[in-house]
């Protein structure tokens, strides 16, 4: 089936929001990227240039001219009503604050066409936390992407009990249309599928590290050899970024918070953020 | 460094015990395989033939004549004193029962030479559960192998507080000499490194399955795409075997036991054991 979406607006032009807009534009959709100010849009343009460069460096069969043209075709907007006036689908990727997101949906409810489907990219909130603000429970769900969208191309799709299944089908079709593998959840699950697996796995690795059972390189080698995986848990921490690992751990139980404190003291306070800074549990390049 | 071991005796000629004996013999050691009866030894010989066939099918650069000669050189024994009389290292791989293992160590303490190093392959017991029966705490530790030993070549090495570090060094050297990657643990940890990671990960997957958040194929695809791993958790369940998954889960908390009951009803009772039976969460061949 086809999504029948043509015009897609992405709210929030941060790292992931800009990747979503880019990935959607590259696959032929008319894309609008919304952020709150001219300063934010200026930053977003720089971010988009970096994404184009990274994408062309990684995706061998990409046509550079077509990719650059698709990116150049993204329309930037700072006026919410103008940004969504003709949108078939709005993907919300604004910062992870319940009150901020609820405010965005209350505003959207006023200005988005009745037919427009709304999707949240929230990682930590459930769509049922937001649905009351949308004014259109049957056309609202979560559509969750991962960082490095063209490589880690999962799109987790999770509705509330009130989401129209036909709308979820269209959103899944859209996910395929932009090169994603749709991951359909049958019910709401905090952390979706991926983080429901990843967080306990990384917690277990952090526990071995905190108890000093073995060092990160030994723990990682064990996992790689036993499962054939390319990366062990501490390599994943470095890829995800130690700031993100800290943010997840500080919100956890006492053991997780102890790990967060260790990350702060031995890594973040020394500028060791993982792959992005060139050093974390391992040194890069 | 070198282990200085020459003669190695493996107690218990079950699936893993026979793989350990074979892997050790192929790497040039003089190996004795001990089991309790002529019937057990007859079964073990059949098991060894199967291991040789599987090994030659999988390890491309193996010299078939040399491998067959090494396997043929394994001495089988049903008399414990004779089996260990000249052993430098005894690897104990008898069934996973605390009382059975303690009895084996009490018997070994009487008949093994004073210099002989003793290592348990126990998956679920700690060496400190057994050390009092060995009569030689400084020369006793755990040396834990994984099934499919030549491919999943981790050797987890875990002593008690009383293990002589020089003995642990020799055992780590021995692990390398037989083609293993030694995984040194600094302290006792139930489940060693690997199962300390694997069990929470598989528990999380089982939880998503039991809550019907998504089906196994969807959960597996999510993990593979997001982490680059070759196998998702339900593929790992099938490889490990659903009988083993049942045994681990039935010993867990209420949620794990519910998963065990589901495995029993929908899989084990129908003869679906995973890869070994040709069907589990997936169908093979």
pLDDT of residue B116: 98
Q: Which residue of B has its CA nearest to A204?
A: B197
Based on the fold, state whether residues A71 and A153 are members of the same structural domain: yes
Residue B199: what pLDDT? 95
Yes or no, beta carbons of A187 and B231 under 8 Å apart: no
Average pLDDT over every residue of B141-160:
96
Contact (CB<8Å) B187/A218: no
Picking from A186, A221, A236, the nearest residue to B227 by CB comes out as A236
Contact B227 A227 (CB under 8 A): no
Nearest CA in chain B to A198: B201
CA separation for the pair B272, B84 (Å, rounded): 40
Answer yes or no: do B102 and B225 share one domain: no
Q: A-side interface with B, Cβ within 8 Å? A: 146, 152-154, 156, 181, 183-187, 189, 193-194, 196-201, 203-205, 207-208, 211-214, 218-219, 221-223, 225-231, 233, 236
**Residue B163 banded pLDDT, cuts 50, 70, 90:** very high
| Confidence bin at B285 (pLDDT 50/70/90) | confident
The answer to whether position A261 is within a domain reads yes
Same domain, A167 and A218: no
Residue A194 lies in a domain: no
- Evaluate if pTM is beyond 0.90: yes
**pLDDT at A201 exceeding the cut of 90:** yes
Record: contact B231-A227, CB cut-off 8 A: yes
Question: Across the interface, which of A152, A199, A223 has its CB nearest the CB of B226?
Answer: A152
Q: Report the gap between the CA of A190 and the closest CA in chain B (Å).
A: 11
Mean per-residue pLDDT, A124-139: 97
Nearest Cα residue in chain A from B209: A193
State how many domains chain B has.
2
Which band of pLDDT confidence, cut at 50, 70 and 90, is reported for residue B256? Answer: very high
Residues in chain A with CB shorter than 8 Å from the CB of B160 are none
Minimal C-alpha gap between A219 and chain B (Å): 6
User: Domain check: are A63 and A126 in the same one?
Assistant: yes
B99, B121 Cβ separation under 8 angstroms: no
Do B132 and B270 lie in a common domain?
no
CB-CB under 8 Å, B197 with A204: yes
User: Is A1 contained in some domain?
Assistant: no
Q: Please determine, for residue B120, whether its predicted confidence score (pLDDT) is greater than 90.
A: yes
Same domain, B139 and B55: yes
B219/A197 touch (CB, cutoff 8 Å), yes or no: yes
8 Å CB contact of B183 and A207: no
Size of interface A-B (CB pairs under 8 A): 131
Give the one of A196, A228, A233 whose C-beta lies nearest to B208's C-beta. Answer: A196
Instruction: Say if B179 falls within a structural domain.
Output: yes
The whole-number average pLDDT for the span B207-234 is: 97
Q: Cβ neighbours of residue A93 under 8 Å, at least 6 residues apart? A: A10, A11, A12, A14, A16, A17, A20, A121
Q: Is residue B127 part of a domain?
A: yes
Read off φ and ψ for residue B223, nearest 5 degrees: -65, -45
pLDDT at res. B111: 98
pLDDT tens-digit profile of B6-30? 999 999 999 999 999 999 999 999 9
Nearest to B229 among A181, A200, A227 (CB): A227
Q: How close does chain B come to A225, measured CA to CA in Å? A: 6
Q: Answer with the one of A161, A184, A207 that is the final residue of a domain.
A: A184
Interface test with B, best of A214, A216, A220 (most B CBs within 10 A): A214
Domain-embedded: residue B192:
no
Q: Are A129 and A100 in contact (CB under 8 A)?
A: no
- pLDDT value of position B228: 95
Tell me what the mean pLDDT of segment B223-238 comes to.
97
Q: Do A213 and B189 touch (CB under 8 A)?
A: yes
Query: At B210, which CATH number?
Result: 1.10.1040.10
Q: Say if residue B168 is in the same domain as residue B225.
A: no
Cβ B228–A230 below 8 Å, yes or no? yes
Distance (Å, whole) CA A245 – CA A202: 9
Q: Is the pLDDT of residue A272 over 90?
A: yes
Indicate whether B283 belongs to any domain: no
| B117 and B155 inside one domain | yes
Question: What mean pLDDT do residues A70-84 have?
Answer: 98
Contacts of A198 in chain B (CB under 8 A): 226-227
pLDDT at A285: 81
Q: What is the pLDDT of residue B183?
A: 97
Task: Indicate the average pLDDT of chain A.
Answer: 97
Compute the nearest-CA separation of A238 from chain B (Å).
13
Chain-chain contact of B225 with A152 (C-beta, under 8 angstroms): yes
Task: With cut-offs at 50, 70 and 90, classify the pLDDT of residue A1.
Answer: confident
pLDDT digits (tens, 9 = 90+) for A224-261: 999 999 999 999 999 999 999 999 999 889 999 999 99
Tell me which of B153, B184, B215 is where a domain ends.
B184
- Domain boundary among the residues A158, A184, A210 is at A184
Å from B112 to nearest chain A CA? Answer: 31
CATH number at residue B37: 3.40.50.720
Whether complex ipTM tops 0.90 = yes
Confidence (pLDDT) at A241: 94
Å between A228 CA and nearest CA of chain B: 6
Reply yes or no on whether the pLDDT at B1 is more than 90: no
- Chain B closest CA to A107's CA: distance in Å? 31
pLDDT confidence band for A44 (50 / 70 / 90):
very high
In chain A, which residues have their Cβ closer than 8 Å to the Cβ of B147?
none
Would the pLDDT of B62 be above 90? yes
Task: Answer yes or no: is pLDDT of A267 > 90.
Answer: yes
Contacting residues of A for B234, CB less than 8 Å apart: none
**Quick check: A183 and B222 CB within 8 A?**
yes
B14 and B131 inside one domain? yes
Rounded percentage of chain A residues whose pLDDT exceeds 70: 100
Tell me, yes or no, whether A171 and A239 share the same domain: no
Residue B285 lies in a domain: no
Same domain, A240 and A178: no
Range of the domain at B14: 7-184
């Amino acid at each position: 089936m086809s999504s029948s979406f043509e015009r897609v607006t992405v709210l929030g032009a941060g790292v992931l929001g800009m990747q979503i807009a880019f990935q959607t534009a590259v696959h032929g959709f008319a894309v609008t990227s919304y952020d709150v100010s001219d300063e934010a849009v200026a930053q977003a343009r720089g971010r988009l240039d970096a994404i184009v460069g990274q994408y062309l460096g990684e995706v061998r069969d990409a046509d550079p001219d077509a990719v650059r043209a698709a990116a150049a075709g993204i329309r930037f907007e700072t006026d919410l009503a103008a940004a969504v006036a003709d949108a078939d689908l709005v993907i919300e990727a604004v910062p992870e604050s319940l009150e901020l997101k609820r405010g965005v949906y209350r505003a959207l409810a006023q200005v988005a066409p009745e037919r427009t489907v709304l999707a949240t990219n929230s990682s930590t909130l459930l769509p049922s936390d937001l649905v009351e603000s949308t004014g259109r429970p049957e056309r609202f769900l979560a559509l969750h992407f991962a960082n490095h969208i063209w490589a880690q191309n999962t799109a987790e799709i999770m509705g509330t009990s009130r989401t129209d299944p036909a709308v979820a089908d269209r959103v899944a079709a859209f996910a395929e249309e932009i090169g994603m593998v749709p991951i359909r959840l049958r019910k709401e699950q905090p952390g979706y599928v991926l983080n429901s697996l990843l967080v306990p796995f990384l917690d277990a690795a952090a526990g071995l590290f905190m108890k000093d059972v073995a060092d990160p390189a030994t723990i990682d080698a064990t996992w790689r050899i036993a499962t054939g995986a390319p990366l062990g848990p501490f390599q994943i921490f470095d890829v995800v970024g130690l700031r993100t690992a800290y943010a997840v751990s500080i919100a956890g139980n006492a053991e997780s918070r102890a790990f967060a404190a260790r990350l702060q003291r031995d890594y973040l306070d020394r500028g060791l953020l993982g792959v992005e800074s060139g050093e974390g549990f391992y040194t890069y390049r």
